[in-house]
Chains A and B, each alone.
Chain A
């Protein structure tokens, strides 16, 4: 029997409201099925289950707001394993139950090897005893000691926070949601600036070949099948990641965990100052048409607040394109626990020397914000150079 738990849908989430169950006891579910809708600061998220089986019992009724890590349902699966999806280590206010950093094992969904059901939690014997007395699940307690271990105070705080029974919460108004989203962004970005030693590199890329190729292709296509320049940029980034894998993955528990899949987060602005950066899964393997379709799909669903849990939890690197507003250069802030963010500015016509001759070319600024714990500037420079090189051969993208 496995527990399906309230997932952490981002580094900034502390609680989630179970808005709707899409399964009932007796239903058979397969890995990846959407089983519930959870209301978060990022809007309603369709939550996928990471383990197949038969739903035995629903533990949390619709309308309840519960901390991350709370068991939501019992699922009888053939292979017991951790039911929580890959979790981004969550920063939280002291005393707020959240998964400990140790409770996020493989941040990369690579379920080939069964994950042990009990996450490793560092805690003193005294803290363990107290947790048992107070019926606090240590896996849901965030350790505040420097090494991440759970202290007695952490256990007491978790017990205190747990005390009020989950009560149905009213659906927050749009303004409240926007404020909540702002707070979530603030928490994640503060953590990023506090913990991640960023370094920044920038280059300018001549897009003439890429845009000429795109325009020629689009001329032959009906409007419904045309590609946006952003798709070329995204694909170039996804392929460059393969060459410099230190940019792709997560910094968790004091170590870099590289990711083999390239799940490209795309920053999407929302009304009222909101921002989400859901993943386009395995972007490096998608054709440009498939990437365009995926981008359109994820943008549309982000706008109406119907992203899937895997999309918001597992981007391995993020791209932000602020050129739409005419901005020249992006100096990006990395989304923890990711280790790199690529920023593109506006495509502008500029005087540009090619082969000793001055011409006018469409130029875009590309910047890399990277985590110095995971990579060095030399490798980051190679990454930007690879993006440039890939964009000079658009037909191979």
Chain B
């Protein structure tokens, strides 16, 4: 699945809770909370940021599936709202 368009939104949300993080230095297969010094409040705010950017609902039960950047992108790829008719190609 192509998640290229999701990546900038996710990184924007990440930057708000971890301004010092270098997105290019992140390993997409290692848990974000291990790579960045962020706590559960930061992580919740990060998910809220994603929710606001993309309008995706993220139930708490899914948090354990959202540890690495790749996992988050894949999850959002599945969950994102279908594009509204008439906006395709925009």
Residues in chain A within 8 A of chain B (CB atoms): 215, 218-219, 222-224, 226, 228-230, 269, 271, 295-296, 299-300, 324
For the complex, would chain A's binding face be called helix, strand, loop or mixed by DSSP majority? helix
Question: Given the complex of chains A and B, what is the CA–CA distance between A45 and B39 in angstroms?
Answer: 23
Looking at chain B's contact residues, the main secondary structure is: helix
* B5 contacts chain A at the CB level, 8 A cutoff: no
Task: Tell whether, in the assembled complex, residue B40 and residue A226 are in contact, meaning their CB atoms are under 8 Å apart.
Answer: no
**Chain B nearest CB, measured from A391 CB (Å):** 17
Interface centre among A215, A218, A226, A271 (most CB of B within 10 A): A226
Instruction: Point out the residues of chain A lying under 8 angstroms from B39, CB to CB.
Output: 269, 324
Inter-chain CA distance A360–B45, complex, in Å, is 30
Are B40 and A224 in touch, CB under 8 angstroms? Answer: no
Could you tell me which B residues sit within 8 Å of A by CB distance? 20, 37, 39-41, 44-45, 47-48, 51, 57-61
Q: How far is the CB of A163 from chain B (nearest CB, A)?
A: 41
Complex Cα spacing A151 to B14, Å: 55
Cβ–Cβ < 8 Å partners of A219 in chain B: 59-61
**In the bound complex, CA of A169 to CA of B44 (Å):** 39
Q: How distant is the Cα of A218 from the Cα of B44 in the complex, in angstroms?
A: 12
**Also in contact, A224 and B41, with CB within 8 A (given A215-B60, A219-B59, A219-B60):** no
Query: Contact between B20 and A271 (Cβ–Cβ < 8 Å)?
Result: yes
Residues of B with C-beta under 8 A to A300: 45
Q: Is the CB of B40 within 8 A of A230?
A: yes
Indicate if the CB atoms of B51 and A223 lie closer than 8 Å: yes
- Inter-chain CA distance A222–B47, complex, in Å, is 11
B58 near A230: Cβ-Cβ < 8 Å: no
B59: which A residues are within 8 A, CB to CB? Answer: 219
Q: A230-B40, A295-B41, A296-B45 are in contact. Are A224 and B51 (CB under 8 A)?
A: yes
